[in-house]
Structure 1
């Protein structure tokens, strides 16, 4: 989860900033603004963490000098002679991201706290957007169970499927040598490559080149810099630069891990499928190879398939038929006004199809508990019963 949270936050920030910038941006020209080469301009000092909604003591203070563990023993720093190998820790980080597009610049800055020990991880922090603060929480119970919660304006959303968008990444990593930060000696890796965002869960579609510099001391991330030059599918060129730097390293906080794990594991019940159907534009039932609009449809389902395009329809066609032969109530959910005959040319009788707002569908899908949803590149399958 450690490096994954940075990439996930970067993508979420780019999406949010592009949405803010583009409506008021200049005519479509590639900006000539130079991106920053260091994070020395960061003005945000790590500050107290947002309170976690659990009983007991308040969340620890995330400041460069604060001790956020019951123990006051920090992880020992290594000498400059060889790289450190830190396996268990809690670290406070500053965060700065700038996005440049169409002659306009926007930034998000804030702080993150990340703890790691074995397969257990936790993350919390606050990022300041032009529109307000966003709180981030995350916890990993093991290699396959990760839960995130994002809160803005007092409203929180749980994400059990992960913040990571679909897509492809073709990259080459080179070890550049040793690096030093906070009296730790680590190894600097440089990764250059091409990235394309696509698929069912991608917040937007685009492609471009990226360069990533990561200074690691064992499992401890000391500094992280990501530069992306890309073009979104709707034609907007943008450059983004993100920098994350450790400002304090201490011991893994067992108390904080348990509190976050309890909070996120016991999150709200998954939203009912019936609630999603209420937001949909129309529901159809398949009969004799065609789609008939109907108001007489079940408000519940055994299995739900989420498909965005014809590629996804081809991928799930046989599985839908198998589920129907088993006597299950099966829905296919798609976005907006997708042409149904192109999506699934020969639908099996008894299949229900719902056209719904994309944002509502993806919110419902992300809120499904781990193990309930199978998310692939072009489709998702959710077993509700």
Structure 2
């Protein structure tokens, strides 16, 4: 005979996770609204919320008395002092952020680098920053874990970085040494997949269930694919490598490399050179490109836009998404002239496939990868809140 108590506990754990997920991903809500959204009865919701409050995961407060109609229902909010660390190592810098449960960065830093970091360099830098935060900025917080967004192929089974070509990492286990250094669980995934998750949950793709996301960074172009609300990882976790596809370039004058892949042609370093910049973050690059009258800048931006819109047209034809979201320097290329960019994508797509698609820049801006990485760290908490 099955153990009835374990079945009951399993149901309760699932319900706890559902309530916690609602207030984390959807925002503060009353007990009455949670009851309606989950389909659970009021007494069950009251018991679940009490358990989450006791565990320090959520907070309750009385509703605004000026808006009270009938019997008041307490408002449940995620505890912002529950924190996950998001990390994004790149060729020129390592970005680290502390993301509060319920959304929002409470701390962030960008550690600029003179040389491409090794996995050991990244572990040492992240450990130093987080340990300092634990002593001051986050001393009153509970850090539940670390998520690392890596620009490369990450094996879903164990989080090993199989290949991050621009970082020079091959078969690197960054999770174990980082977990040992901080005494915290560590989750590792592809940066663009995590960016896609963040934009789906909190950003531009929030109202969409079929999404193509492309992320452009110093290491190239990655992507994420969401179908029917599910992030698609593929057999090994390597799906979404848009940057490694071979673009169709009809004009030889637009080709900058011999037989190059998309990230060779649509390339952040080429934009920096055209703008006369060395190392620069996206804000500086945006300021240098948008509205520039320099002939070299305009030519390079136009060339890259033509190639990118052709690739996006193929994506629309194959996947028929309702949203295409662009992050990093790809959003800069779009915002150079968003109206003409969007029109060109539609012109390069089948009319029927493009009817419903919305083309947008990432709403979370520079925080998208850190928020996505933190979401990977929050996942075990959402699955088993009281564990």
Per the normalisation by structure 2, the TM-score is 0.23
Query: If each structure's strand is expressed as a fraction of its own residues, which one has the higher value?
Result: 1
Query: If each structure's helix is expressed as a fraction of its own residues, which one has the higher value?
Result: 2
Kindly indicate whether structure 1 or structure 2 has the higher relative contact order, using CA contacts under 8 Å at least 6 residues apart. Answer: 2
